[in-house]
Structure 1
Amino acid sequence: MSLPDEAAIKRIIKDNSIRLDNHAGQNFLIDEAVLRSMVELARIQPNDTVVEIGAGFGTLTAELIKRAREVIAVEKDKTLARCLKERFGGQSNFRLVNDDILKFKPDVRPYRIIANIPYQITGKIIRKFVSEEERKPADMLIMVQKEVGERVCARPGQMSLLAIWVQLYSQPAIVMPVSRQSFWPVPKVDSVLLSIAGIKPDPLYPLKDFTAFWRVLRVGFSSPRKQLRNNLVAGLRIPSKEVARALAQAGIAEKARAQELSISDWIALANSPRGRVDP
């Protein structure tokens, strides 16, 4: 296991006329200890199919190829994709997809996602594969910003839409902190290795009406600093007394804010007759 250092990466960039896109969050892993831990925590099996998002220079790709049955490397940057093809094109278990990951449609099942993903679209990537994609991965082990990892794993009191969507379908956990010094260029924030395990095609909680759940959730978080009651009155366009009764039916405090509720609280609210009032 050998990683290119900062000097080696700069040389590769110069030799291939690569222009780094700061807006895309291109930060390359240069810490061998972190790579080793990531591979160990992934527990890759010989029959695994792994999708890697933003394969970059192929640092992680090389280790995945050694262990998995098939590695599908998705890389949007055309120059980086060409470098990946030149390096791994002769490997029988390597497949390159030169495309935007948000447009990528998996054609295999089951599969896993193991990646150091672009930080600027982290939330979109997680939502796509955990709650929106028809063919969901079995699990994900991804490098994300520390703040995002904490948001995904939040408990009642600090909940967000992202946390609810992920926890509705899976079991997320932060498995390792990663210093910003482990990357080049050095990002402005520290990272964490985030495990999203046991991803299911359907919600892990009993939902009577998914549309009602989504509507109440979206309206509830429309102004997180405001009390939930005020958001529901304005967003669902129903009288304050009706909202108060719906909250009482669900066992939710009248002055509660959206981030204070658990997933079970939201489901109770959406499943209540008044939680399903049309806007």
Structure 2
Amino acid sequence: MRSHSRRPAATSSGVHLLSDARVITRLVTAAGLGAGDLVVDFGAGPGTITAPLARTGSRVLAVERDARFVADLRRRFAGCAEVRVVHEDLRTVRLPRRAFAVVASIPFAVSTPLLRRLLTPVTSGFSHAELVVEWGLARRLTAACPRDLESAWWSCRFTLTVRRRIPARCFSPAPRVDAAHLGVRSRNLDHRTAAILWALLSAAYDRPRDPARAALAGLAPRRTTHRLLGDRPTAEVHTGQWLALAKALAADRSVIPPPLPARASR
């Protein structure tokens, strides 16, 4: 969701704007940014998050698709060398090649497409994020046992943490549901471990109701999978157990992982 400053409570697109200064301060502080860092504010709106990000000394890319907000942003930050306003859609804008963080309050409807762009590729400059997302989405992403392949891939490669619940009253106008402050940090898995992890998760979540060790027959030694996963069905395996299995197999140099698919490798 976008942050709110000097515009009316609602826009023609029905966007709910973040209006609580304490929430914004916590987002920026949690990111731990400083001079020379690159940070992206997706859905920058009128720049309520952009401004405190610029005060950290970071280089800020304020990405916004609404032409009215873009005009406001360019006027507001015309004399600020730290801020570059980008008139693009967050779902299609080219992401930075160099290391970058994300601090943003984005529309609930495009949270998943943005997370997919940030968390799916193995090769990416993305490092960490502090995001405002819908409460239910945050709870699903941080569940101990991922419910599907995509969620498992994300939670095994990134530490996803609900830092706090954000009441609907912190937005103007208030949405129907609460939001969450979601922290995202990379686990820094090497490419070999990531490739093995993808192979395991892909096979297991193709048969989510079967015992995971049965779904993984031929991919991993039965003794190892039984020791680490037991007889649990895929849907009941914890993120930590998937990580332990992938790392154990990565340590075995006789294991040759299949190549990552294009959607995960780029």
Does residue 187 (structure 1) correspond to residue 175 (structure 2)? The answer is: yes
Tell me, yes or no, if structure 1 residue 19 matches structure 2 residue 12: yes
Give me the TM-score of the superposition, normalised by structure 2.
0.76
Quote the residue 1:60 is aligned against: 49
Q: CA deviation at 1:78?
A: 2.5
1:66: Cα distance to partner?
A: 1.8
Aligned-pair CA distance for 1:71: 0.7
> After the TM superposition, which residues 170-249 of structure 1 pair with which residues of structure 2 at under 5 Å, given as runs?
170-198=158-186, 200=188, 203=189, 207=193, 210=195, 213-222=197-206, 224=208, 226-228=209-211, 232=215
In the alignment, which residue of structure 2 is the partner of 1:36?
25
Q: Is the 8 A contact 1:248 1:254 kept in 2?
A: no
Q: Which residue identity is paired with 1:9? A: P
Q: Over residues 158-217 of structure 1, what are the superposed CA-to-partner deviations in whole Å (9 max), with x where a residue is unaligned?
A: 5543442223322221222211110123122211111112453xx36963x82x653552
CA distance in structure 1 between the aligned counterparts of 2:32 and 2:137, rounded to whole angstroms: 23
| Aligned residue type for 1:214 | W
- Give the alignment of 1:158-173 within 5 angstroms: 158-173=146-161
The answer on whether the counterparts of 1:173 and 1:194 sit within 8 Å (CA) in structure 2 is yes
CA distance in 2, matches of 1:72, 1:182: 24
Choose 48-57 or 60-69, whichever is displaced more. Answer: 60-69
Larger relative helix fraction:
1
Match of 1:256 among 233, 254, 263: 233
Match of 1:267 among 230, 246, 253: 246
Q: Report deviation, 1:249.
A: 5.2
* Kept in 1: contact 2:44–2:63 (CA 8 A): yes
Alignment-derived partner of residue 239 in structure 1: none
CA offset at residue 128 of structure 1?
Answer: 1.6
Report the CA distance between 1:108 and its aligned residue: 4.9
Q: Which amino acid aligns with 1:184?
A: S
Instruction: Report SS of the residue matched to 1:149.
Output: helix
Q: So what's the TM-score if we normalise by structure 1? A: 0.72
Select 2:94's aligned residue among 105, 108, 124.
Answer: 105
Deviation at 1:35, TM superposition (A): 1.8
Q: 1-side partners of 2:63 and 2:203: how far apart?
A: 35
Q: Choose 1 or 2 for highest CA Rg.
A: 1
Q: Which whole-Å deviations, capped at 9, do the CAs of 1:87-121 have from their partners, x for residues lacking one?
A: 22332111111112232223352221111122112
- Aligned-residue identity in percent: 20
1:48 aligns with 2:37: yes
The yes-or-no answer on 1:77 pairing with 2:66 is yes
- Superposed counterparts of 1:82-101, under 5 Å: 82-101=71-90
Shift in alpha-carbon separation, 1:199–1:54, aligned structure 2, 3 A: farther
The answer (yes or no) to whether the contact 2:96–2:125 under 8 Å persists in 1 is no
Secondary structure at the counterpart of residue 19 of structure 1 = coil
Contact 2:28 2:130 in 1 (8 A): no
* In structure 1, C-alpha distance between the alignment counterparts of 2:92 and 2:108, rounded to whole Å: 17
Give the superposed CA RMSD. Answer: 3.6
Deviation at 1:253, TM superposition (A): 4.2
Consecutive unaligned residues of structure 1, counting only runs of 5 or more, are 237-241
Higher relative contact order (CA 8 A, sep 6+): 2
